[in-house]
Each structure stands twice: as structure tokens, then as C-alpha cells.
Amino acid sequence: MQKKKSNTTKERNLRKGKNRSVVGAKHLHYYTALMVLLVMVVSFAAISISHINIFGNFDAAHPATTNTSNIYNNITTNAAKTPGDNTINQTLLAAQVIPTTGYTLPFKWGDSVHKLVETGALNPSNLSIILNNSRQPLTPVEEEILNGTYNGYIQFNATNTEFIQLVLWSLGINNNNTIINAGPIINASVPYAEQINSNASLNQKITPEYVASRYFASTGGYGPLGKLQLGELNIISLNSQQQALMYDVATHSYRPCCDNPTAFPDCNHGAAALGLIELLAYQGANQSQMFDAARYFYQYQFPQQYAEIAAYFDSQGGNYSQVNSSDVMGYNFSSYSGYASVNQYLIKNKILAQPSGGGASCGA
């Protein structure tokens, strides 16, 4: 009898073990399904956020990526203006947008870039590799800017477009400012964080900051530059008046790669423009100077697009170089939709030789 009882006990234990295995397998399938669901939701959020525009306009497709230095001398307008012809002189057009002498701002870098290096937000070695690949290797002046020893003024020209864009991107996306910490980037991330959290039982809930630090071009593509510290670094601290002036410019200046203003820096160019106007506001710039600086910056980043915008103003009997920068940087011209309208007007009236396809993209 004892032996039979022992066998019965063994059978019961085996059945218990089997049951535990079944339960364990069920849990495994549950957690596997949960992880698949989480990945799907995150992927959906990433795709959706890349096209979101909380200012009410769809973010259009980005122009094809082109090294800007390759098209400075190839603006696609008809080259010669003849009597009775609508086309604009190519040489004069380029001189208005991307002059060989460049632009020099009456403002300095100070130690802003050096602070980025000190905090690890900007890795000089990685930056050097990126610039070499862009065929714009670091210059002695740029090395001084990184070291914080350069005392000259900020300059834009055809040979430093990549350096300017990259260091300003780092400044704009990492500097502690309400546009980053409590603005459109965070606000746009809230519903996606909530969606992820509602579909998964996580020990630690995903925050809007977590989403924002990964799913925009200005954040998700930041890795090669250094350690992203989204809105955490106290590099430029603006007083209330400076912040108000800067914010007004940020909400009324656009870029041709999308329909978002500078106040929504979801791409590298937008973040760079934000860093630029913050730097200028800190040094006492007025709004006109900030609009001018943003215009000069974008003209070298998107030379084809601004050459066409210049051609439009010239075709109206105006002079692009004399147009207020606040008008040029507005939605009607500098947004993707605004530029597209200009482009179609030029083609329709045979002011543009062929549709454009050049210019820098919004992607990282």
C-alpha cells in the first residue's frame, strides 16, 4: 500500500510539474505577444510622429538629399535673360542668395560650442569623421570654436555649411529652453506615450520625454554627434524679454523641408535654427537680426529653394536682397508648401528652366 501511495504521489507531482510547465508556457506566450504588441505600437508612433504637425499643416515629403556645395553653381533657372524673356539671370540670382563672400553676423560663438563638447553632447572625433565624409573637413577656425578659444564673429559661407548646421543642431536640441522642455516636441509626444502605456503592462511607464528623445529626426538621428541631453544643458539662459523676442521669431520662421516652424524643431535644420536664434537673443539681438540670421543660415542649407524664392521676387519687379527677412522666412515662402507654390509659379511662367530637385533634406 505504501508503494502504491508513493507512486500516486509521484504521479501527482508529475501532473503538478506538467501543469506548471503549461502555465509557464502560457506566460511565455503572453509576454511574447505583449512585446510584439509593444514593438508594433512604438513603430506606429515613430512613423506617425515623423509626419505630425501640431500647427495645422501636413508635413510634406522632404526634398532629396544633396550636398549643397554641389549645386551652388548650378541653380536651375534659365541662365540668360533676353528681351521679352521672363527668365532671371543666374549669376545675379546666386549672388543674392549665396554670395562668395558669405555672411558675417555681428555676434560671436562665445563658449557655447565648447560647453557642448565638455558635456559630451558634441563629440569632436565623431564630428570630424562626419565632416570628412561631407568633404568639409574641420578648419583651424572650427577647431578653435570647439575649443572655445575663437573670438571672431559667426560666419556663413559655402565651405562651412555642414559644421554650422551640426553644432547649431547640437545647441538647439540640448539647450534648456521651454521650447524643448514644454513645447511642441513634448506635446506631440504625449498621445503616443499614452497609447504605448495603455497597451502594455510595464513596470516603468514610458514618458513623453522618452518618446521625444527617440522618434524625431532631430533626436533619433542625433547619436553620431554625441550624447543627446534633450533640453537638459544650461548653456544659454535667456531672460524673459530675450525669451519673448526669440519665441516670436521661432513661431514665425519656417524651413523648406516641412511645414513646421522653428518652434517645432523636429528635424536637424529646425533645431539648428533654434540654437542660432537663442544664441543671438542671449547677445541682445533684436527680432530683425534674428530673422536675418535664420535667413542667411537657410540660404546656405537650401540654396536651390531660396534661389527660386529670390527669382520669384525678382520676377515681380522687386529685389530679393531688399525684402524683409521676416517676410522671406514666413509660411508663404519658407515652408514646404509656400516654397512649392513659388516653384509651381516659376515653372508655369517659364521663369524656371526645369523643376527643382536639389537642396538639403530635413532628415538627420
Q: Is 23 exposed, middle or buried (0-12, 13-18, 19+ CB in 10 A)?
A: exposed
Band the pLDDT of 89: cuts 50, 70, 90: low
| pLDDT for the residue 362 | 57
Q: Which position has the grid cell 497609447?
A: 195
Instruction: Write out the H or E segment, with its range, that includes residue 107.
Output: strand 103-108
Mean pLDDT within 98-110: 95
Position 81 scores a pLDDT of 39
109: pLDDT strictly greater than 70? yes
Which residue's C-alpha cell is 527660386? 308
> Please, is 16 exposed, middle or buried when counting C-beta atoms within 10 Å of its C-beta (0-12, 13-18, 19+)?
exposed
210-234 pLDDT tens trace: 999 999 999 999 999 999 999 999 9
In a domain, 213, yes or no: yes
pLDDT at residue 302, as a whole number: 95
Output the average pLDDT for the chain: 80
Is 166 inside a domain boundary? Answer: yes
- Residue 46: what pLDDT? 41
User: Of 34, 27, 82, 72, which is closest to residue 302 (Cα–Cα)?
Assistant: 72
Does 215 fall in a domain? yes
Check whether 43 has a pLDDT greater than 50.
Answer: no
> Has residue 122 got a pLDDT over 90?
yes
Residue 267 has pLDDT above 60, yes or no: yes
136-164: per-residue pLDDT in tens? 999 999 999 999 999 999 999 999 999 99
The conformation of residue 227, written as its DSSP 8-state character, comes to -
Residue 56 lies in a domain: no
How far apart CA 273 and CA 300 sit, in angstroms, is 12
Dump pLDDT digits (tens) for 184-195.
999 999 999 998
> What percentage of the chain exceeds 90 in pLDDT?
63
**46 within domain boundaries:** no
**Residue 34 included in any domain:** no
What end-to-end distance do the CA atoms of the chain give, in Å?
A: 78
pLDDT of residue 176 exceeding 70? yes
Contact 279/153 with Cβ under 8 angstroms?
no
When divided into structural domains, the chain yields a total of 1
**Model confidence at 25: pLDDT above 60:** no
**pTM for the whole structure:** 0.77
Comparing 196 with 359, which gets the higher pLDDT?
Answer: 196
Range of the structural domain that residue 198 is part of: 68-348
Statement: residue 169 has pLDDT above 70: yes
Question: Does 53 have pLDDT greater than 70?
Answer: no
Q: Kindly state whether residue 210 falls inside one of the protein's structural domains.
A: yes
Within a 13 Å sphere around the CA of 115, how many CA atoms are in the beta-carbon half? Answer: 16
From the DSSP assignment, how many helices (H) and strands (E) are in the chain?
17, 2
3-state SS, residue 254: strand
More confident: 42 or 254 = 254
**Residue 157 confidence (pLDDT):** 95
Query: Cell for 155?
Result: 560666419
Instruction: Give me the pLDDT at residue 205, please.
Output: 85
Distance CA 162, CA 181 (A): 26
Biggest CA-to-CA distance, the chain: 118
Query: Whose grid coordinates read 511607464?
Result: 205
User: Is residue 56 over pLDDT 80?
Assistant: no
Element (H, E) at 106: strand 103-108
Mean pLDDT on 88-97: 74
In sequence order, the 6+-apart residues with CB closer than 8 A to the CB of 277 are: 246, 249, 250, 253, 262, 285, 290, 293, 294
Among 198, 136, 196, which Cα is nearest to 161's?
Answer: 136
| Residue 35 pLDDT exceeds 70 | no
Residue 358 lies in a domain: no
Q: Tell me what pLDDT residue 31 has.
A: 41
Q: What is the pLDDT of residues 279-328, one digit of tens each?
A: 999 999 999 999 999 999 999 999 999 999 999 998 888 889 899 999 99
Arithmetic mean of pLDDT, 8-22? 47
